[in-house]
Structure 1
């Protein structure tokens, strides 16, 4: 496999990973918002 192909495939995989991460963060934020501000304040004290 030549370098160009290798780099392209790495970039493609990185992009997939970043998209997945973004999706997970969106889900996490949705759940986080359900807990409300009280929990956030409590966590700061931990």
Structure 2
């Protein structure tokens, strides 16, 4: 396994569960700016 440098200041993609809007942000947005739905970090797998 390789060591990966994680830049905590980098923007990450978040996707809205309701409308599918993709938002790039440094911090986890609490809700979608378009429909106020729940968002998830797209780099985190859903199980």
Shared fold, TM over 0.5: no
Which structure: larger Rg?
1
Report 1 or 2 for greater relative contact order, CA contacts < 8 Å, sequence distance ≥ 6.
2
Structure 1 length-normalised TM: 0.20
Name the structure where helix makes up a greater proportion of residues: 1
Name the structure where strand makes up a greater proportion of residues: 2
